[in-house]
């Protein structure tokens, strides 16, 4: 995967993460999940700013941990990291 494609995927993951956080904030008792999602995506901008190939696995690990803990979430971040191409506009 090219650097540009990876950057676009990570930016889309940030976008989707913020959308999910906004949705979660509308419901009661979701603060732990909001915290965990923010924890999973917060390092992505720093990684993008000073990219190293090892960062891919660190991001994958964090997203996988979130998705395992919150399997009921309809947001599948790993699909956008590894499989699905993000939409042209988001």
Say if residue 63 is exposed, middle or buried (CB neighbours under 10 Å; 0-12, 13-18, 19+). Answer: buried
Q: Spell out the residues 6+ positions from residue 75 whose beta carbon is closer than 8 angstroms to its own.
A: 16, 17, 19, 20
Q: Cα(1)–Cα(59) distance, rounded to whole angstroms?
A: 15
Q: DSSP letter at 58?
A: H
> Per-residue pLDDT tens for 54-79?
999 999 999 999 999 999 988 999 99
Residue 14 makes CB contacts below 8 A (sequence gap 6+) with 41, 44, 45
- pLDDT tens per residue, range 7-56: 999 999 999 999 999 999 999 999 999 999 999 999 999 999 999 999 99
- Name the residue among 81, 83, 87 with its Cα closest to residue 41: 81
pLDDT value of residue 51? 94
């Amino acid at each position: 995967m090219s650097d540009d494609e990876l950057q676009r995927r990570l930016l889309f993951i940030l976008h989707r993460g913020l959308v999910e956080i906004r949705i979660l904030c509308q419901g009661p008792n979701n603060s732990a999940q909001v915290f965990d999602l923010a924890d999973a995506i917060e390092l992505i901008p720093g990684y993008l700013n000073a990219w190293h190939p090892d960062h891919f696995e660190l991001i994958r690990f964090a997203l996988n941990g979130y998705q395992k803990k919150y399997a009921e979430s309809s947001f599948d971040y790993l699909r956008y990291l590894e499989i699905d191409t993000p939409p042209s506009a988001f």
